[in-house]
Structure 1
Amino acid sequence: MAPFPPYEPNGTRREPRLREIPLRLLLPNLITILAICAGLSGIRLAFELRFEIAVAMVLTAALLDAVDGRVARMLKASSKFGAQMDSLADVVNFGVAPALVLYVYILDNAGAFGWIAALLFAIACCLRLARFNVMLEDPDRPAWKADYFVGVPAPAGALLVLLPVYLGFLGVPLNTTSAFIASGFVVAIALLMVSRLPVYSGKSSGARIRRDIVMPAMLGVVLYVALLFSYTWYTMALSAIAYLLVLPWGVRAYSKREAKEAAQIEPATDEAP
């Protein structure tokens, strides 16, 4: 008898079992594991007061999280095991790691209130991910609603909640007042994550792009990456602020789409009798 149980990607024995697992099935899971390592390393570096590298590790975890799902789809290596593992990794990378980095960096200056804020954010991330997983299994959810998240997604919430750290790197003083302000900001982001606020996901626009804006879009991406490497914390701070400013636009677009879909359903309902 083998000392370890066999790897079952989909958790079922009804499908044909392979004696050897192809590497392409393991690659997305390895990327997820690397993301967990990056998030946990960020926590360690924060306790060692190496905050810039700690934040960089959290950002790296977010990047790897964006990659693993796409790699799984490209290689046709999606599995139930990978989906569950990715969800658990998100709790660490986007809930626990940012909360502890923030607490060590600034929130501890607010005492118990700062810890409560960090705790609320981590719990909000867990609730957000659990609700997302449940909504994926809802067969009655209209297809067009897949273009919108319900509440701020966990990766975006992690990048937003670190805004006080970005500003601290840019010279904003770290004192008791700023710690209380940062704690209030953390609680606000936690509420946005568990709210019913429709947030545009960008999935529909990612499939196609108009031919006349292909070149400007490519140059825009190059410019953003160049700014990110040259002026990292300015770029991250402005990106977080811009994301918050764009949220009302997503609510407006959702309302228009909902009204349009309702108008299309009503005539069909009237014709049915």
Structure 2
Amino acid sequence: MVAPNAVTAMALCFGLTGVRYGISGEWERAVLSILFAGVLDGLDGRIARLLRGESRFGAELDSLSDSIAFGVAPSLILYLWSLYAMPKFGWIFALAHALSCALRLARFNANIDVDVQPHKSAGFLTGVPAPAGAGLTFVPLYLWLVTGEPIFQAWYVVAPWTAFIAFLMISNIATYSWSALRLRKRIRLETIALAGLLAASLATDPWLTLLLICGIYVALIPFGILSYAKVRRQREANPGPA
């Protein structure tokens, strides 16, 4: 249990470190701290399964860590960066992201022991996961870092986008999950090469690369909805045991 839970604790600390950098106005380090927390969050579950260290304690710690690193921390960073300038309601929009993240994680925990989970059994997620939501909500900040244009820091741009991502996190739409990814053998080498080039792109121009990744993710959301609708129609046409 120690190794995966230690990684989860590291993700939590990186999320809070992002707030520290946000307070001092070091926006690049603030965002990178949250993104690195997302990388660690993707590793802890796999480490737990590899070492057979899965536990209820680990599941609860993971949810608490996600709520802080991908809910509270991004909300504070966005507020300090842009939303503070919004008259009266800037803090409300920041809270919307944190609250939506907490609600999403609570729904996930409540469904852990539920036998029938239509989205999960078909290889889909319900709504946008917390780490992806944190990465997406920073899109205006990425644009600001790439272009330097002050319009992307304006609250009337950041607030609607924050509300949109908050809605996606608590929505019931079906989104693709890694478990649904099945690569054909003939393209596996190309995929490995693409992963290497992606890593190089992140090192060379992280903000532009992150914008591209976010754009692809958002563009795939309608395809996920359509794919799950097809699966649901097939289930309705051929009902069988769960």
Q: Shared fold by TM > 0.5? A: yes
Q: Name which of 214, 218, 230 aligns with 1:244.
A: 218
Q: For residues 178-217 of structure 1, what are the structure 2 equivalents within 5 Å?
A: 178-205=154-181, 208-217=182-191
Distance 1:102 1:177, change over 3 A: closer
Name the structure 1 match of 2:58: 82
CA distance in 1, matches of 2:126, 2:88: 30
Selected match of 2:86 from 102, 106, 110: 110
Matched to 1:102, the amino acid is L
Indicate how the Cα distance of structure 1 residues 56 and 176 shifts in structure 2: closer, same or farther if over 3 A, else same.
closer
- Counterpart AA for 1:232: P
Letter matched to residue 174 of structure 1: P
CA distance in 1 between counterparts of 2:118 and 2:25 reads: 47
2:195 counterpart of 1:221 = yes
In terms of Rg, which structure is larger? 1
Alignment partner of 2:125: what SS?
strand
Conservation of the 8 A alpha-carbon contact between 2:18 and 2:33: yes
**Which segments of 5 or more consecutive residues in structure 1 lack a partner in the other structure?**
1-24
What is the Cα-based RMSD across aligned positions, in Å?
1.8
Alignment counterpart, residue 254 of structure 1, candidates 217, 228, 232:
228
| Structure 1 pair 241–113 and aligned structure 2 pair: CA distance change class (3 A) | farther
CA contact (8 A) 1:110 1:176 kept: no
Matched positions, count:
241
Note the alpha carbon deviations across 1:36-87, whole angstroms, 9 max, x for none.
1101111011101111011110001111110111000000001111111011
Question: Do the aligned residues in 1 keep the contact of 2:140 with 2:157 (CA within 8 Å)?
Answer: no
Tell me, in whole angstroms, the C-alpha distance in 2 between the residues paired with 1:105 and 1:152: 23
**Secondary structure at the counterpart of residue 175 of structure 2:** strand
**Aligned positions of 1:34-113 closer than 5 A:** 34-113=10-89
In the alignment, structure 2 segments of 5+ residues that lack a partner are none
Q: Distance in 2 between matches of 1:228 and 1:177?
A: 22
**1: CA distance between counterparts of 2:207 and 2:152?**
22
Q: Does 1:235 align with 2:212?
A: no
- Kindly state the Cα deviation for residue 140 of structure 1 after the two structures are TM-superposed: 2.6
**TM-aligned CA deviation for residue 112 of structure 1:** 2.6
The CA deviation at 1:176 is 9.3
